[in-house]
Structure formats: structure tokens, C-alpha cells
Amino acid sequence: MTQALTERTTRELRDRTEMLLRGLGAVPPEPGSLPARTPITGGELASLPPSSIIDVDLAIGAADRAFREWRSVPAPQRAALVRRLAALLTEHQDELAELVTLEAGKITAEARGEVQEMIDICEFAIGLSRQLYGRTMPSERPGHRLMETWHPLGVVGVISAFNFPVAVWAWNTALALVCGDTVVWKPSETTPLTALACHTLLRRAAMEVGADPEVHQLIQGAAEVGTRLVDDPRVALVSATGSVRMGRTVAPRVAARFGRCLLELGGNNAAIVTPSADLDLAARAIVFAAAGTAGQRCTTMRRLIVHTSVVGPLLDRVAAAYRQLRVGNPLDEGVLVGPLINSQGYLGMQSALRRALEDGGELVCGGERVEGFGEDAFYVRPALVRMPAQTAVVREETFAPILYAMTYNDLDAAIELHNGVPQGLSSSLFTQDQREAERFLAADGSDCGIANINIGTSGAEIGGAFGGEKETGGGRESGSDSWKAYMRRATNTVNYSTELPLAQGIRFE
């Protein structure tokens, strides 16, 4: 693509972005020093002024004041706001999905799927608003009732990453709102426009149902903005999604002020393929999990541990599929792999491939840059690398489409290899042997927060709690009982007798 053609395409995308923002009710921002670039061409879609430290303080203060009223609104009434947000997301699904594609580079199907996740978590949260259950426990003292109740926690700070620019925000925000919390959102500085659109829709929903729009605040900018949010004692919970390096910074700062953290950090996800596996099914699952979103998911499959008896046929299938994957403009029909987010992603991928080859790896296919999209756009073919061992580079997370394949002979050794990385997010086992499946799911099997049988490592549903162990951070978002992270628990004892017996039979007379 010539420079002139790249510039013309960027202008067209810029005009389209402005049209989408207006259609979503968001006034295009005034120019500022925070650029919003599209990975499709590498050009600038818009720029906007970043939040100042004063802006951050004002946003937290507004959220804190709104919390004083919002916490007393009955939870089913709070759900009215989330219900209206879900309706607006459904109405504008196509426009918001296209904005995700323009700003994050996802193919259309994945972008629409991400917006659908937002709608799904809103529906989950609406039902949850009538199920914030506590327990009643038997008291050892006669004439006493012992129980627990759950109360709104406070201001929730949400820090999200570029690869899921809207879904992760919705996971946190929908649950936080029905739990009675208010939200201050700091999105990735790489995807400020999708954040502006979502913030606008939520504010509109609040006004339409008579809720206080101040329950949600948006701050934009780089690290110093996030640091101010993390350090503020008015922020009861910081839910941060990003790299392990980011988590190592956030966690001690929040702990220093005795705040709460919910961390969703790195993943280095693997699949074990056993001799009994359905290889055609496994290959399809592996290709999507490893190449989808150009390898830029925290649940991307990065390691493949295959029994020696089936490694040849399986890698032949995966390599054949890789060679057929259409890499290109994510707005084009039939494209399955879009661009990397920026040059740093590309350089990181090339560095990892060089290290893998230096460690004795064999490049089966892929890894090269796809030209023709301009010098500032970074499209690559997903890489399949056969490794002799799990070397240092394999144990690291490279946020790009590299799949390292290794072999095993004994399932116990395969599980040990699988668990032998610092991260612990998602995992898979492909087998038709029930014993092997149960072994993988047992306490001494996969050490990840997500363990799957005969599906890939990505594509989690909102009904189950999402998160991982070890350097992944230990947080849980979305479904199951993850709502408890957004609330505080109180243990209550009610004495309805005329006596005052003490616990443990103590007498004090």
C-alpha cells in the first residue's frame, strides 16, 4: 500500500469513526495530546485531551458522593440501569462493534462477539440483583440468630486493556452497579474512543431510568492517571486487567493503603493432546485459540503439548490451517486474522521467534510480516514453532500469535510441563479417555483457573467465574459468585431473648 493510499484510507476511517461516535451519542472529542490510532493503517483516528490529576480527583470525588445515595437504592431497582444499558448495547451492537474493530483491530465477528459479551453480562447482573444472598447459621447461644449480610463496597476503579476494550469494563461495571457500587473507569490509552462511546451509553441509560449519571466516571490517559486512581483511599476496589508487570505495580500500592485488588494479568495457556484425541476437533480448536485476535487474548493458546504418537498428524493439520488463514483488514469479509495493535507487538513477536530458534526451535510455518498495509500497520502470519524443550522464551507470555509445540510420552510428565510456567489462567486437554480427563481436572492436574476438556483455551462464557492463579493474579470476574468481590460482608448476631449468654460458654458475673 502506498503512503498516499494509506493516508486516504486513514481519512476514510477517521470520517467513519466520527460518524459512529455521533451515532452512539458521543460528541467527537476536542483535539488533545492523547492520540487514538487504528492498527488497520497505523494512522490517527482522533486525539483527545487526557485527564489531569485534578480531573482524576474530581471524578473519584463525584463517584464517592454518588455512592452515598446509590448504595441505598434497592438492588432490583439498581438493575433498571443495567437493563437499560443492555437495551442500548443491543440497539447499537453493530456500531459499537465496528468502533472496536477500528480502534483495536478485531475482525468483525470477534468485535460483535465482544459486544454480545457486554449484553450477556448485563443480563446476568440483572438476575443477580435479586440473588445477593447471605446465610443464616445456627447459633450456639439460645435465643440468638446468627447470619451474614452483604453490603455495597464503595467506589470501584476499573483499569482495562486494549485487547478487550469494552467487555472487561462491562464485566466489572454491570456487577458493581447492581451490587450498589459506583465506578471510575481508566481504559487503555490505546482505545480511548470505545471507552468514550460506552461511557456515553451508560450515562444515557442512567438519565433515561432516573438514576444518577455520576455513578459512572471516565478518566483517560497514561500511567500517571492510573497511578492516581490506584493510590486514592476513596477507591475501595481496584480491578485491573493487564500485564504481570502492571500487576506488580498495582498490587503493593493498593495493599499499602489496605484497599482491595482484583487482578487479571498474564496467561501462558497450553493444551495437552493425548493419543485418543479427536485430531480434527483438536486442530480446529487449537487454530482458533492460537490465532484468534492475532494472538492478543489473555486466553490465547501459546503452548501445545502433544503425545509423540500423534504429533506429526496434528501439526500437519494445524500447519495446513495456518497456511489458509486469511490475514488482512479486519473490516474485509473473510479475514480471520487482523493486525497487531502496534509496532511493539510486532517487535516483541520477532524477538521471541529469534530466541526460540536460537534455543533449537524449528519454525514450521508463519511468523513473517504481511506487507501491503503501510509501514505503520503490523500484520503477521500466525507462527507455529516446534520446540525441543520448554525454554525460557516459552515460559514467557508473548502477546502475539506464536504457538510453541512440544512432545510428551507420559501424562503425568505432560501435566508437569503444562504447569511449569509462572502463569495460570486457562488450559485444555483433548482426549476421549475419561480417566485422562478426570486426571487433568483433579487437584494435582491443571493448576489454572480455567481447565477445559475438548475445547480450546479461549472463549470463556460469562456464567463461569473468569480468572487464574499464580502470576495471573488470582482475581475472578464475570459469573458464578464473583459478585462477592464487589461487596463487603457483615456477620450479624441478633439476641431475641431476655438473657445474655456468652459464646464458648464463658461466664462473666
Catalytic residue flag (residue 264):
yes
252 C-beta neighbours (distance < 10 Å), count: 11
What separation in angstroms does the CA of 147 have from each of 135, 254, 489, 498? 6, 30, 10, 20
Residue type at 424 in one-letter notation: G
Of 98, 110, 214, 264, the catalytic one is: 264
Q: Which sign, positive or negative, has the C-alpha torsion 331, 332, 333, 334?
A: negative
319 near 403, Cβ under 8 Å?
A: no
Q: Angle of helix 75-91 relative to helix 192-209, nearest 10 degrees?
A: 130
Contact status, residue 379 vs residue 340, Cβ threshold 8 Å? yes
- Rounded Cα gap, residues 379 and 384, in angstroms: 16
Contact, 236 vs 259, CB < 8 A? yes
Q: Please give the backbone phi and psi of residue 444, each rounded to the nearest 5 degrees, phi first.
A: -100, 20
Strand 136-137 to 144-152 pairing: antiparallel
Burial class of residue 121 (count of CB atoms within 10 Å of its CB; 0-12, 13-18, 19+): buried
Burial (CB count <10 Å: 0-12, 13-18, 19+), residue 400: buried
User: Which residue's C-alpha cell is 459469573?
Assistant: 479
Residue (of 180, 186, 235) closest to 212 by Cα position: 180
Give, rounded to a whole angstrom, the gap between the first and last alpha carbons of the chain: 90
Q: Look up residue 385 and give its three cell numbers.
A: 514453532
For residue 348, the tally of other CB atoms under 10 A from its CB is 17
Residues assigned a catalytic role = 264
